[in-house]
Amino acid sequence: MNGSFPRALLPGLAAIVLGVLFLALLLTFESQWSVGALLAGGAAVVFIASRAGLLSRAATSFDTHEPVMAGATILALLVLAAWFAEDHFPLLMLSTVLLMVTSCLGLTVQFGFAGMVNFAGAAFFGLGAYTAAVLVRYTHLPHLLSLPAGGLAAGILGSVLIWPMLRTKGHYSAVVTIAFAILFKTFLEVNDTLGGAQGMKIRNIVVFGWKPNQDIEIGSLELSHYLIYFLAALALAAVAFVFCRRLERSWIGLSMDAVRIDETAAACFGLDVRRWKIVAFTWGNVLAGMAGALYALMVGYVAPNNFTFGDSLILVSIVLLGGIGNVWGVMVAAALMILLPEKLQAIQEYRFLLYAVLVMLILLFRPQGLLPRPLRRYLPGGAGR
């Protein structure tokens, strides 16, 4: 320690501040013109920064000082939430983004690490949501338990689905997940106990004798109840991030990479290919299920239309856009993919079309994603000599 502020941190911190500022403006602006101008401005800044080599310096800060960057990101998001403390919509949006980040981190373990494409991400998210809804509505279990229960349900059902997936070769296992995604939604629609196509409402959630779905009054301040959910979603995303990161930087991540890249060679070096696929698929679904359960409690209702095959595609495109296997890329991509259609009515109706075009463009021109995954670094900081 020489007491001086490490200059290597600056580009990364600047990126975080600018990113959060961009988010704040995006969530504040109403008129389509100002949103459009903001997007153009943001794109210009990114372009110039990348030309000036600042982007890669920011990437280096994240690479070499990750704990500091992660802490700074959390802090910046907390400031952002405090800024919007009384407004429902921005907090709801931010929380949704964080829950999508958690789900996509799950997909990252499955797809980015172990190479299993999962086109049923939204179904596992929905499974967690419905599990939470049923627990709150039909049982007397503490409502907070619905979070782990949602993750557990998704993990268990996923480990049933994995068997037909392991029996199919190559990309056909992706077809199994597509079938499941469609089956799941159809099942919900025809099941009257679960509310059919209308879905069901969840009311009167109580956590430790306290009702998180009511706004909080402190003196003259009336804080949005979404603030609590934002904090919960942030905590969940942070845990998921640490989980993914440590997984990647361990023998488990190494084994999953080996399985993804060459199954036969991996098997010849003692790796149990099926085992690692099961592990990756199960944990990925647990993350999606927990995110789904929190989502259900937050919005107070669940309906089949929230968990369609189209939503699963969005999750996959976030992972593709962010850079397959890159845990930071997922965050940037999730924010863009979730918030832009909400704020730009012009693209809202065509969002699926746009996503499809975007995914094709990425696969054609930058198959490693916007932010390609860097080489593994087992220990934080230096090369670990």
Contact between 262 and other proteins per CB under 8 A: yes
Q: What is the distance between the alpha carbons of residues 204 and 99, in angstroms, rounded to a whole number?
A: 22
For 130, counting Cβ atoms within 10 Å of its Cβ (0-12 exposed, 13-18 middle, 19+ buried), the class is buried
Residue 112's nearest CA partner among 273, 238, 248, 283 is: 248
Q: How far from the centroid of its chain's Cα atoms is residue 379's Cα? A: 24
Contact between 383 and other proteins per CB under 8 A: yes
DSSP class of residue 118 equals -
**By 3-state DSSP, what share of the chain in percent is helix, strand and coil, each rounded to 5?**
75, 5, 25
344 CB-near residues (< 8 Å, 6+ apart): 32, 35, 36, 39
- Least distance from other proteins to the Cβ atom of residue 373, Å: 8
Total site size for other proteins, rule CB under 8 A: 28
Q: Toward other proteins, which CB reaches closer, 32 or 250?
A: 250
Q: Which of 267, 340, 358, 370 binds other proteins (CB under 8 A)?
A: 267
Write the CA distances from 138 to 167, 195, 214, 372, integer angstroms. 37, 13, 21, 45
Contact between 56 and other proteins per CB under 8 A: no
Q: Toward other proteins, which CB reaches closer, 3 or 270?
A: 270
Q: What is the token pair recorded at 345?
A: 């009515």
Contact between 363 and other proteins per CB under 8 A: no
Q: Toward other proteins, which CB reaches closer, 219 or 270?
A: 270
- The interface mask with other proteins, positions 205-244, x = CB under 8 A, is --------------------------------------x-
Q: Toward other proteins, which CB reaches closer, 196 or 372?
A: 372
Q: Which of 261, 353, 360, 361 binds other proteins (CB under 8 A)?
A: 261
- Least distance from other proteins to the Cβ atom of residue 49, Å: 25
- Least distance from other proteins to the Cβ atom of residue 378, Å: 5
- Least distance from other proteins to the Cβ atom of residue 326, Å: 13
DSSP class of residue 331 equals H
Q: What is the token pair recorded at 346?
A: 């012009």
Q: Which residues bind other proteins (CB under 8 A)?
A: 243, 246-247, 250-252, 254-255, 257-258, 261-262, 264-272, 375-376, 378-379, 383-385
